[in-house]
Amino acid sequence: MKNLILLLILLYGTSLNADISKGKAVYAANCAICHTVNGGSALGPDFNIVSYTRAKEQIAGYAKDPYSHYKAFGYSANAMPTLPLEDQEFKDVADYIDSLQPFKKWMIKKKH
């Protein structure tokens, strides 16, 4: 039983990290021209800030279909293109953005 729990923790930890590194690649290829992750400024808001203000599901939803979400997010117009990515890629990039919060980083490290 104890081994099973350890195995589950290990599997969960591995898949979590895999998604984050995949999401980081999606970010670099598709978002980095308009969104910084280090508190910088670009056309769109910095993702480090977004990781504090939005839930993972909101981030994935916005990324997939910005036109349907910009008003609810408080923007008066939409300047973000609809990107031709797979659903899984939107989820992965949202996982990556969500992981930028320093406190979350600490929690993920603690699990190992």
Q: How many residues does the chain have?
A: 112
Q: Which of 11, 57 has the CB closer to ligand HEC?
A: 57
- Using CB under 6 A as the binding rule, whether residue 93 contacts ligand HEC is answered as yes
Site for ligand HEC, residues 42 to 81, rule: CB under 6 A: 43-45, 50, 53-54, 59, 62-63, 70, 73, 75, 78-81
Reading phi first (left if > 0) and then psi (alpha if -120 to 50, else beta), residue 39 is in: left
Cβ–Cβ under 8 Å, residues 42 and 36: yes
Strand spans (E) along 23-97? none
Cβ–Cβ under 8 Å, residues 109 and 102: no
- Using CB under 6 A as the binding rule, whether residue 20 contacts ligand HEC is answered as no
Q: Which of 84, 106 has the CB closer to ligand HEC?
A: 84
Q: Which of 56, 108 has the CB closer to ligand HEC?
A: 56
Cβ–Cβ under 8 Å, residues 67 and 74: no
Q: Which residues in this chain contact ligand HEC in the complex, by CB under 6 A?
A: 26, 30-31, 33-35, 43-45, 50, 53-54, 59, 62-63, 70, 73, 75, 78-81, 83, 93
